[in-house]
Structure 1
């Protein structure tokens, strides 16, 4: 048997906690996945998985074998990468998930250059902000915005998200233009709520070196970035969204930036992946590509001034001054 392939199949079954999901993510028939794991157990003369109709659990031997598999597969990938170098072309199916607006407005228009560089990668791009279990759903990498907490994931900063406070000229003519944060109490907003928790997201501003949260009254709440910005265009109130989305409307005059002296705190944009899964050449290629894409845009690029104001990439970075583990804490409007 192909022991390396068997180890890959076994590891994916463990990570997805399902023979069916493992088969889907590996693009293999389910029966072949089952036979491969059975053959691996026969070769090792030990049971690796305890199977019931409702659950799938590692045996003690299976848990130890899985940890060794992950390290061996990572070593194999590193050896191949170092020996083959540029001769090795990243290939295969790559599943990536990212916020919808960022994907539609920034990444999708540039995908032609990605496929020119990596024609043998089959990219499966998910757009949305629903909670995801990367391991169980077989997702190789996600792009997330905000400070990250989940210690089972690793984050690499690829850009910086900047927000802007805006309203339409019609709204400002009707309600007046606020000159201070205190005046926001007399204004209305369209609230944005977090899909994960249903919690309303306050407007945030930097004032005297501190982050100030402002909750405003609003009779409408949405959980979609484009609907949120559209509500401002339609005169429903003051909103605070992504600068890369608002820029065309600011340039045309359809939206007006307000309270510019109190800017929202910049947030890190991170590529996130499970720490216990070896980083394949296709994942490396995508992360390098999207890092370059964002770095080349002034809307996402880092500067010393922006870096000084940006929130940490992870809780570990906040505590220890270094980029570390990742998961979502902040959920900006993208």
Structure 2
């Protein structure tokens, strides 16, 4: 702290044009400022000012040292501000982008809102690969591996895909025992809104991705109706396992071909890299990462 005080005395002397005015700004005597700068010069082993009875002017070494001092003091001030912010109640608008499975997060979002009532939460549901910074989001929750050096991230969990259908449907149509058996089943297939592409079911045998020609019965671009239609017995769907855990436990859906769907996909919260993380964003990231939102993966 003594060193920071000496740096501040040096910078204030430059800005004020002399020890007298610098002392007035700092609330100390001119001689105290002069002595602080002299001790700094002794420590550095170089002269920072040319002194005369009327004025002080920077030496070449002092000019070089000045800008670095300004950066050091600016960083210290920013650190103090950041710490002060952590003591304040998080508040303000928080824009979050979630994937199509975002309804899964709603109980935790509701819990977060009750915990931080002064934060105005704005949610946007989309599978589009949004530009977090350009589109003005504070954070996004996305699946898969995302490569963007401008973003920080924390993992929330992992999921696998599950092929599901209703018990009544399988009693009538029979259980598919291998991927090739899907050719005899009507498939409820998800279409990505942004690209217009149909979702490929990631079936693998011995680590190799299988190309299965699915008989498409219905195409849906929202996850919840896809699950509902499967419960209604209109065909089978391939969805994230964590979105149908309740239905699987209740017995309204049955999972098949799990041995061919063992690939795990990451779910993470991402936000712009920033030297100063705002209290509202820090609260959201810490809350979501600490929540047992996504149960550990179970062997299919």
**Could you state the TM-score of these two structures normalised by the residue count of structure 2?**
0.65
Partner of residue 123, structure 2 = 125
Equivalenced residues, count:
227
In 2, Cα distance between equivalents of 1:291 and 1:186: 42
In 2, Cα distance between equivalents of 1:121 and 1:224: 28
2:259 partner SS: coil
Q: Tell me whether 208-217 or 255-264 shows the greater mean CA deviation.
A: 208-217
Partner of residue 241, structure 2 = 243
In 2, Cα distance between equivalents of 1:142 and 1:280: 15
CA contact (8 A) 2:85 2:278 kept: no
Partner of residue 280, structure 1 = 278
The reply to whether residue 91 of structure 1 matches residue 87 of structure 2 is: no
Partner of residue 109, structure 2 = 111
In 1, Cα distance between equivalents of 2:243 and 2:265: 15
CA contact (8 A) 2:132 2:139 kept: yes
Partner of residue 66, structure 1 = none
Q: Structure 1's 212 and 249: CA in aligned 2 closer, same or farther, altered over 3 A?
A: same
CA contact (8 A) 1:74 1:279 kept: no
Gaps of 5+ in 2: 1-72
In 2, Cα distance between equivalents of 1:135 and 1:195: 21
**Could you state the TM-score of these two structures normalised by the residue count of structure 1?**
0.59
Q: Structure 1's 276 and 286: CA in aligned 2 closer, same or farther, altered over 3 A?
A: closer
Q: How does 1:194-205 map to 2 (within 5 A)?
A: 194-205=192-203
Q: Structure 1's 228 and 75: CA in aligned 2 closer, same or farther, altered over 3 A?
A: farther
In 2, Cα distance between equivalents of 1:80 and 1:116: 27
User: RMSD of aligned C-alpha atoms?
Assistant: 2.9
Q: Which has the larger radius of gyration?
A: 2
Find 2:164's aligned residue among 155, 163, 166: 166
In 2, Cα distance between equivalents of 1:228 and 1:274: 33
Q: Give how far 1:195 is off.
A: 1.5
Q: How does 1:8-157 map to 2 (within 5 A)?
A: 78-81=79-82, 83-84=83-84, 87-102=87-102, 104=103, 106-157=104-155
Q: Structure 1's 112 and 183: CA in aligned 2 closer, same or farther, altered over 3 A?
A: closer
Q: How does 1:215-234 map to 2 (within 5 A)?
A: 215-234=213-232
Q: How does 1:178-327 map to 2 (within 5 A)?
A: 178-212=176-210, 214-275=212-273, 278-293=276-291, 296-297=292-293, 300-302=294-296
CA contact (8 A) 2:132 2:138 kept: yes
Q: Structure 1's 75 and 162: CA in aligned 2 closer, same or farther, altered over 3 A?
A: farther
Deviations 1:168-214 (A, max 9, x none): 22322232111112222232211111112111111113432444453
CA contact (8 A) 1:158 1:270 kept: yes
Q: Give how far 1:144 is off.
A: 0.6
CA contact (8 A) 1:121 1:282 kept: yes
In 1, Cα distance between equivalents of 2:181 and 2:161: 20
Deviations 1:39-70 (A, max 9, x none): xxxxxxxxxxxxxxxxxxxxxxxxxxxxxxxx
In 1, Cα distance between equivalents of 2:236 and 2:272: 38
In 1, Cα distance between equivalents of 2:76 and 2:155: 24
Q: Give how far 1:98 is off.
A: 0.6
Partner of residue 45, structure 2 = none
In 2, Cα distance between equivalents of 1:241 and 1:204: 11
Gaps of 5+ in 1: 1-71, 307-334
Q: Give how far 1:221 is off.
A: 0.8
Q: Structure 1's 141 and 76: CA in aligned 2 closer, same or farther, altered over 3 A?
A: farther
Partner of residue 330, structure 1 = none
CA contact (8 A) 1:100 1:127 kept: yes
